Each structure stands twice: as C-alpha cells, then as structure tokens.
C-alpha cells in the first residue's frame, strides 16, 4: 500500500506544492508519531483552520486543489477532504476521495433557497489507510460553525469511521446519507461537475455563482438569531 497510487501527488492532491508541504510540516513535525497520531492532527487542523463555506463552490479546476484551499482559507466538503488527503499523502498515509449524496436537515433556509433543494449531491469525505484498514474522515464543519449551529464538532480518532452526526444536540436529524458513489484515487472532476449541473442547473449561470461568493453559512445562521 505504501507504494500505491493512493500516495501520488496530482493536480488536486498537489503536495508537490511548497505551500502544502509547509502547512503539513507546521502541523506535524515530529517524525516519531504513528500514522494514527499524524492523521488525527491533520484532521483537526483542516477541520478548524479552513472555514466551511458552501457558497465558495466554483467550477474552476484549480479551486479543487489542496494548495488553492490553503490560500483561500475557506471552502466546502470536497476541497477540504482533498486537502486532508493531500496532507496525509505527503506524510506517507494513503488516501482516497469518497463521494455521496446527502440530505441536510439543519441547513440554513438561505442555502436551501440557493440550491433550490435540501439534498446535497457530491458530498465529499476522505478515506485514510491507517494500520491496515481504510477509515473515513469528514473534516468539513469547523468547530466555530458547529458551535453556532448547536452541534458538537465531528471528532476523528484514526480508528473508527467519522462521517457525520446523525442527530444534533437536541435529538433532531442532522445529516442523512442517501446514495454512495464510491471512492476514487484522484478527484473525478467531470463526474462531480456533471452531477452538480444536473442537480442544480441554475448554478451553470456565472452570475449566480459570482453573487454566491459574497455569502457564508455563518452569516445565514447569525441572520436568524
């Protein structure tokens, strides 16, 4: 597994980029740590350093790369998962991207209105190969946003799958997986964009996407408090 395609640097998992290497080394500089310890440190950094903002979606190829996410300091589930997978590969931990369609019962009304649906196609997570098995990790929602939403930040221990809270702190349904699309050694960009265009055809309008860049999920939630 250590010599597999799941360790390769690509245009998306771009750990050949110096900014990616510098970020990874700032998180993990101790070469005595186990893969599990490294993965947990990387997960928490990506989860909380990069603000979750679904309105940052763009169909530009470069926006899905790890280096782009580091520079932007905000993104959504797919690029954040790619970033975690990229950092892991740089540190010698194989990774692969997973995609699924989910229903978010606690999304903001503004985001539902923007998407014209409460179903989120192409939700991204990452799988890391740790101690002989693949383990799912989802670093999407940063801790600050979770506090605003009244949800505990999703933890990851490097041993058990960490996908999404089924319920929030009040016992209300939070996230529900509707369909799994499998895992991929590199980001299947055409598949992602085709699926998004079919689910949300209005997002093909450049003006709609440009206007969305001025919004954030935190603003949505704070506006109704």
- pLDDT tens-digit series, residues 12-68: 999 999 999 999 999 999 989 999 999 999 999 999 999 999 999 999 999 999 999
Global confidence as pTM: 0.91
Q: Please report how the helices 18-27 and 35-49 are oriented relative to each other, as an axis angle in degrees rounded to 10.
A: 110
pLDDT at 224 over 50: no
Q: What angle do CA 39, 151, 80 make, to 5 degrees?
A: 40
Collapsed DSSP state (helix, strand, coil) of residue 152? coil
- Residue 160 near residue 138 (C-beta atoms within 8 A): no
The helix (run of H) or strand (run of E) holding residue 19 is helix 18-27
pLDDT band (50, 70, 90) for residue 152: confident
pLDDT at 108 over 50: yes
Give, as one character, the DSSP assignment of residue 198. H
Structure-model confidence comparison of residues 168 and 154, the more confident one? 154
Mean pLDDT in residue range 177-184: 94
How big is the chain, counted in residues?
A: 225
Give the lowest-confidence range in 126-140, 142-156, 206-220.
Answer: 206-220
pLDDT tens digit string along 1-17?
655 899 999 999 999 99
CB 205 within 8 A of CB 116: no
């Amino acid at each position: 597994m250590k010599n597999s395609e799941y360790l390769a640097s690509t245009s998306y998992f771009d750990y050949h980029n110096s900014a990616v290497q510098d970020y990874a080394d700032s998180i993990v500089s101790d070469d005595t740590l186990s893969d599990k310890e490294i993965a947990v440190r990387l997960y928490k950094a990506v989860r909380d350093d990069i603000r979750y903002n679904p309105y940052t979606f763009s169909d530009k190829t470069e926006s899905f790369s790890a280096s782009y996410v580091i520079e932007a300091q905000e993104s959504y589930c797919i690029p954040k998962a790619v970033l975690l997978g990229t950092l892991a590969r740089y540190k010698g931990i194989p990774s692969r991207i997973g995609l699924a369609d989910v229903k978010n019962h606690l999304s903001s009304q503004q985001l539902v209105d923007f998407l014209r649906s409460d179903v989120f196609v192409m939700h991204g997570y990452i799988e890391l190969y740790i101690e002989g098995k693949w383990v799912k990790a989802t670093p999407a929602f940063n801790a600050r946003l979770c506090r605003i939403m009244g949800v505990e930040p999703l933890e990851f221990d490097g041993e058990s799958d960490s996908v999404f809270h089924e319920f929030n702190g009040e016992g209300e349904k939070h996230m529900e997986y509707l369909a799994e699309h499998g895992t991929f050694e590199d980001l299947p960009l055409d598949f992602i964009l085709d699926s998004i265009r079919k689910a949300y055809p209005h997002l093909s309008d450049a003006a709609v996407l440009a206007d969305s860049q001025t919004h954030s999920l935190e603003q949505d939630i704070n506006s109704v408090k």
